[in-house]
């Protein structure tokens, strides 16, 4: 049977009450206990789950409804549960008082006065009231993150349309994850700072991708949540398009990673069109969507969360390095390799990136020779007749590098250094010598960028890190692997995309938060040194919307 009582005028957040419900349900004297605020949505839930009591008709959204399932008519059970509830509420209050002092307010206007530069309102209140609060925040020119669910799609469309017109963003409803300007919003992880910006219509998708990025020793700038319905046909990706604009304008973000559950096809096409206008590489994961080709212009398509993270981490050092180097638009690329397989892979990758075809004959070690681009294996038999292999004696490559000084059309040189037993004792020295001879024949208007990869280990006689250190000291770029080196070479000779971005988004550089709902979210922000005010929200006028509207007008 159901026994019940109401605790008047004691508003608590839903998570606290769920934890209390679980604790009380473990008591031997009861079968199960449900503790909820008396909102209309919760009353419907109590009915649907078999916990309804007619006494709840008198409950307001500021009252706690307690329903107790017992096997028999235990007379003392209500008194027991009532006392246990009081103890639990007292423990919550004491825990809040015992922690770090949190700036609090009981009205949105008061919260704004206490934190005048607040530019985001984080909402985790009951869904039936979330849209109204979001509306007020937008009217006050604040961005919004709605953690709450059970917000109508009509309200979502209206709020996001309103935000877009004001160059603001609404993340959510049902947006569980974001990390903006160093602020952990709702469910978030501690991730190193880097140059990868993440946008996601999936909260756990964002968390998995940024976690994988961290495991790959890279970091992020921002992680912008959208809510699961943003890429639906009805909503049309309103916040997705805003988020893309935000990261496009963010100087610290050099690679964008976009994660979505299966989107509406027309919305997917609109989002892809927006991505192509951004002068940055974009890794796009549309889960469940067919991939016709792995790359389209600046967009790299991924099939899984892990692949999206790996692609972003491949592009990250490429973009970071390219931004420090001059653009060599329309120059050509030459690769001079001592390792045959490395030359073959470099030719294959470069051909794929530039839409060329490799040589099938490999005459004189030439793996690629098209449109001025050339990849040569200097370990080919043609170069070793009566001479030691260039891994042993790199002088032949040193001479070839020096000759590039007379070829100003060549803007990028790719080389490998293969170290270990049997190899030359200091291959870096030879590359540097050839490079310096080439540079002596050129002026500052015709630079030659050398990109090297090193094959070998720290324990090899030549010591990998010492070889890299010497190359870098001579202004030679060192990349981790061939894919990175090829992508960088292509980036350097590709004309820079023009952009008309003039908007700036302060939210991405400085964030101050008004937190309405779960206190723990405010505590997390405060512990991360983010300016925050905890808005102790409760339904106005006991949840009477007509009376609340009148009071709002009076204010």
Residues 168, 182: Cα–Cα separation, whole Å: 19
pTM here is 0.89
| Predicted pLDDT of residue 475 | 97
Backbone φ and ψ for 87, nearest 5 degrees, come out as: -65, -40
Q: Burial, 394: exposed, middle or buried (Cβ in 10 Å; 0-12, 13-18, 19+)?
A: buried
| Predicted pLDDT of residue 547 | 55
**Beta 366-370 vs 373-377: how paired, if at all?**
antiparallel
| Predicted pLDDT of residue 71 | 76
| Predicted pLDDT of residue 405 | 96
The pLDDT tens digits of the residues spanning 110-139 come to 999 999 999 999 999 999 999 999 999 999
Residues paired with residue 527 on neighbouring β-strands, in sequence order: none
Asked if 238 and 157 touch (Cβ cutoff 8 Å), the reply is: yes
| Predicted pLDDT of residue 85 | 93
Domain with CATH 3.40.50.261 in the chain: 105-321, 328-493
Residues 153, 235: Cα–Cα separation, whole Å: 8
| Predicted pLDDT of residue 9 | 86
Helix (H, G, I), strand (E, B) or coil at 174: coil
Residue 57: partners with Cβ closer than 8 Å, 6 or more residues away: none
| Predicted pLDDT of residue 103 | 94
The DSSP code for 495 is P
| Predicted pLDDT of residue 116 | 97
| Predicted pLDDT of residue 392 | 97
CATH class of this structure's domain 2-98: alpha beta
Asked if 35 and 53 touch (Cβ cutoff 8 Å), the reply is: no
CATH class of this structure's domain 328-493: alpha beta
Residue of 40, 41, 37, 42 whose CA lies nearest to 10: 37
Sites in the chain below the pLDDT cut of 70? 73-75, 98-100, 499-502, 541-555
Kindly report the CATH number that applies to the domain delimited by 105-321: 3.40.50.261
The DSSP code for 335 is E
Domain with CATH 3.30.70 in the chain: 2-98
Concatenated DSSP letters of 514-530: EEES-HHHHHHHHHTT-
The pLDDT tens digits of the residues spanning 172-225 come to 999 999 999 999 999 999 999 999 999 999 899 999 999 999 999 999 999 999
| Predicted pLDDT of residue 545 | 59
Q: Rg of the chain's alpha carbons, rounded to an integer? A: 31
The DSSP code for 59 is -
């Amino acid at each position: 049977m159901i026994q019940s009582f109401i605790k008047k005028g004691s508003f608590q957040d839903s998570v606290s009450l769920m934890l209390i419900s679980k604790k009380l349900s473990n008591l031997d004297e009861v079968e199960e206990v449900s503790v909820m605020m008396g909102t209309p949505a919760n009353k419907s839930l109590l009915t649907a789950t078999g916990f309804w009591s007619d006494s709840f008709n008198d409950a307001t959204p500021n009252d706690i409804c307690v329903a107790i399932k017992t096997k028999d008519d235990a007379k003392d059970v209500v008194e027991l549960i009532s006392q246990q509830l009081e103890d639990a509420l007292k423990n919550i209050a004491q825990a809040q008082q015992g922690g770090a002092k949190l700036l609090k307010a009981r009205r949105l206007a008061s919260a704004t006065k206490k934190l005048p530069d607040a530019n985001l309102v984080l909402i985790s209140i009951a869904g039936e009231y979330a849209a109204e609060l979001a509306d007020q925040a937008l009217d006050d020119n604040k961005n919004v993150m709605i953690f709450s669910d059970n917000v109508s799609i009509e309200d979502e469309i209206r709020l996001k349309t309103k935000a877009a017109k004001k160059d603001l963003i609404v993340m959510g409803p049902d947006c569980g994850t974001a990390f903006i300007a160093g602020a952990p919003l709702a469910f978030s992880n501690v991730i190193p700072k880097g140059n990868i910006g993440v946008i996601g219509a999936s909260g756990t998708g964002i968390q998995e991708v940024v976690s994988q990025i961290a495991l790959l020793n890279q970091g992020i700038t921002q992680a912008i949540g959208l809510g699961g319905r943003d890429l639906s046909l009805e909503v049309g990706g309103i916040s997705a398009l805003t988020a893309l604009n935000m990261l496009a304008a963010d100087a610290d973000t050099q690679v964008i990673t976009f994660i979505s559950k299966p989107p509406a096809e027309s919305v997917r096409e609109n989002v892809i069109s927006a991505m192509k206008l951004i002068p940055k590489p974009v890794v796009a994961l549309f889960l469940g969507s067919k991939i016709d080709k792995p790359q389209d212009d600046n967009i790299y398509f991924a099939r899984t969360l892990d692949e999206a993270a790996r692609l972003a981490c491949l592009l990250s050092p490429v973009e970071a390095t390219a931004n420090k180097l001059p653009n060599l638009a329309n120059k050509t690329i030459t690769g001079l390799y001592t390792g045959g397989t490395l030359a073959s892979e470099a030719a294959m990758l470069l051909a794929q990136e530039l839409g060329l075809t490799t040589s099938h004959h490999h005459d004189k070690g030439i793996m690629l020779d098209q449109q001025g681009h050339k990849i040569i294996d200097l370990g080919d038999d043609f170069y070793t007749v009566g001479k030691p292999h260039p891994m042993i004696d790199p002088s032949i490559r040193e001479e070839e590098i020096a000759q590039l000084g007379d070829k100003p059309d060549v803007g990028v040189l790719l080389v490998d250094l293969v170290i270990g037993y049997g190899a030359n004792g200091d291959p870096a020295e030879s590359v540097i010598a050839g490079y310096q001879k080439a540079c002596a024949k050129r002026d500052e208007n015709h630079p030659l960028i050398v990109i090297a990869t090193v094959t070998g280990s720290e324990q090899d006689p030549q010591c990998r890190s010492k070889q890299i250190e010497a190359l870098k000291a001579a202004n030679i770029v060192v990349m981790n692997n061939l894919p990175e080196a090829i992508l960088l070479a292509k980036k350097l000779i590709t004309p820079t995309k023009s952009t008309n971005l003039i908007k700036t988004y302060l939210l991405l550089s400085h964030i101050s938060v008004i937190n309405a709902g779960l206190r723990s979210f405010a505590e997390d922000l405060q512990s991360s040194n983010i300016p925050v005010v905890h808005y102790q929200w409760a339904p106005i006028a006991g949840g009477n919307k007509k009376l609340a509207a009148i009071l709002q007008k009076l204010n």
